[in-house]
Amino acid sequence: MEALGMFNHLKRQILQHLMNRYFLKLRPVPEVEADTTEIHCSVPPSPNRVDQLLSRMTMQEKIDYISGVNGFSVRAVKRLGLPPIWMSDATSGVRGVDAPVTVFPSPIAMAATWNRSLLKEVGRSIGRECRATGVSILLAPGVNIARVPVCGRNFEYLGEDPFLAGVLARSYVSGVQSERVGVTVKHFVCNNSEFDRHKSDSIVDERTLRELYLPPFETVVQAGAVGVMTAYNLVNGMYASEHGLLVERLLRQKWRFTGIVVSDWNSLYSTRGPLRCGVDIEMPGARWYTQKSIQELLDREPEYAERVDEKVRRLLSVFDNLGVLDRPVRDADAPVGSLEHAEIARKTAAESIVLLKNDDLLPLERTERKSIVVVGRFAHHEPIGGGGSSFIKQGFPGVSIGQVLGERASASSIEAIDGRWWRSAKSRALLRDADVVIASVGFDHVYESESYDRQWELPRYDLRVIHEACRLNTNTVVVQHAGGAVHMAPWVALPKAVLQCWYLGQSSAEAIVDILFGTVNPSGRLPVSYAYELEHYESMHAYPANFDSVSLARVQGGQGDPEERKTWPLVYGEKLMVGYRQFDTVGPDPLFPFGFGLNYTDFAYTDMQLESTQRGWCISCRIMNSGEYDGAEVVQLYIRPEVSSREHPFQQLRGFEKVFLRQGESKQVSFVLDERSFCEFDEDSESWVRVAGRYTVVLGSSSRDIRLTSTMVVKKSPGN
Ligand code: GLC
| Tens-digit pLDDT profile for residues 92-124 | 999 989 999 999 999 999 999 999 999 999 999
| Least confident residue range of 356-360, 556-560, 563-567, 698-702 | 556-560
Residue 35 confidence (pLDDT) above 60:
no
| CA–CA separation, 173 and 163 (whole Å) | 15
Q: Collapse the DSSP code of 506 into the 3-class scheme (helix H, G, I; strand E, B; otherwise coil) and give the result.
A: helix
- At 368 the pLDDT is 80
From the alpha carbon of 267, which atom of ligand 1 is closest? 7
pLDDT grade, residue 398 (50/70/90)? confident
Cβ 89 under 6 angstroms from ligand 1: yes
From the alpha carbon of 140, which atom of ligand 1 is closest? 10
From the alpha carbon of 90, which atom of ligand 1 is closest? 10
Mean pLDDT value across residues 672-697: 96
pLDDT tens per residue across span 158-208: 999 999 999 999 999 999 999 999 999 999 999 999 999 999 999 999 999
- At 34 the pLDDT is 52
- At 7 the pLDDT is 87
In this structure, the strands spanning 631-641 and 652-661 are: antiparallel
Tell me, in angstroms, the distance from the centre of ligand 1 to residue 81's CA: 28
Looking at the DSSP bridge assignments, the partners of residue 623 are: 605, 667
| CA–CA separation, 410 and 347 (whole Å) | 23
* Helix segments in 77-161, DSSP class H: 107-113, 116-133
Mean pLDDT value across residues 657-685: 97
Pocket test for ligand 1, best of 264, 392, 555 (most atoms within 8 A of CB): 264
Residue 43 confidence (pLDDT) above 70:
yes
Cβ 282 under 6 angstroms from ligand 1: no
* Helix segments in 434-526, DSSP class H: 460-472, 508-516
Tell me, in angstroms, the distance from the centre of ligand 1 to residue 389's CA: 6
- At 311 the pLDDT is 98
Which residue in 264, 280, 444, 453 is the catalytic one? 264
- At 38 the pLDDT is 54
Q: Collapse the DSSP code of 217 into the 3-class scheme (helix H, G, I; strand E, B; otherwise coil) and give the result.
A: helix
- Under 8 Å between Cβ of 381 and 508: no
- At 251 the pLDDT is 98
In this structure, the strands spanning 603-613 and 568-571 are: unpaired
Report the nearest-CA residue for atom 4 of ligand 1: 389
- Under 8 Å between Cβ of 235 and 217: no
pLDDT tens per residue across span 311-343: 999 999 999 999 999 998 899 999 999 999 999
- Under 8 Å between Cβ of 579 and 503: no
From the alpha carbon of 197, which atom of ligand 1 is closest? 8
Cβ 681 under 6 angstroms from ligand 1: no
- At 24 the pLDDT is 65
Residue 1 confidence (pLDDT) above 60:
no
End-to-end CA distance of the chain: 60
Report the nearest-CA residue for atom 8 of ligand 1: 264
| CA–CA separation, 702 and 406 (whole Å) | 35
- At 411 the pLDDT is 75
Cis, bond preceding 141 (omega within 30 deg of 0) = yes
Cβ 90 under 6 angstroms from ligand 1: yes
Percent of the chain with pLDDT over 90: 87
- At 412 the pLDDT is 80
Mean pLDDT, all residues of the chain: 94
Cβ 389 under 6 angstroms from ligand 1: yes
* Helix segments in 83-202, DSSP class H: 107-113, 116-133, 162-177
From the alpha carbon of 184, which atom of ligand 1 is closest? 10
Contact residues for 582 (Cβ-Cβ < 8 A; gap 6+): 537, 538, 574
| CA–CA separation, 428 and 432 (whole Å) | 6
Residue 496 confidence (pLDDT) above 70:
yes
Residue 25 confidence (pLDDT) above 80:
no
pLDDT grade, residue 607 (50/70/90)? very high
Q: Strand order in 616-625's β-sheet?
A: 603-613, 616-625, 666-673
Tell me, in angstroms, the distance from the centre of ligand 1 to residue 264's CA: 6
- At 367 the pLDDT is 77
Q: Is 106 left (phi over 0), alpha (psi -120 to 50) or beta?
A: beta
- At 397 the pLDDT is 60
Closest C-alpha among 660, 672, 673 to residue 623: 660
- At 718 the pLDDT is 73
- Under 8 Å between Cβ of 349 and 507: yes
pLDDT tens per residue across span 359-390: 999 999 877 878 999 999 999 999 999 999 99
pLDDT grade, residue 350 (50/70/90)? very high
- Under 8 Å between Cβ of 265 and 229: no
Percent of the chain with pLDDT over 70: 97
Closest C-alpha among 504, 492, 487, 592 to residue 548: 487
Pocket test for ligand 1, best of 15, 389, 452 (most atoms within 8 A of CB): 389
Q: Collapse the DSSP code of 481 into the 3-class scheme (helix H, G, I; strand E, B; otherwise coil) and give the result.
A: strand
From the alpha carbon of 232, which atom of ligand 1 is closest? 8
Tell me, in angstroms, the distance from the centre of ligand 1 to residue 305's CA: 29
| CA–CA separation, 429 and 245 (whole Å) | 65
Cβ 218 under 6 angstroms from ligand 1: no
Cβ 156 under 6 angstroms from ligand 1: no
- How far is it between the farthest Cα atoms of the chain? 81
- At 23 the pLDDT is 65
- Under 8 Å between Cβ of 35 and 85: no
- At 175 the pLDDT is 98
pLDDT grade, residue 304 (50/70/90)? very high
| CA–CA separation, 557 and 551 (whole Å) | 10
Tell me, in angstroms, the distance from the centre of ligand 1 to residue 151's CA: 15
Told to judge if 264 belongs to the known catalytic residues of this protein, a careful annotator would answer yes
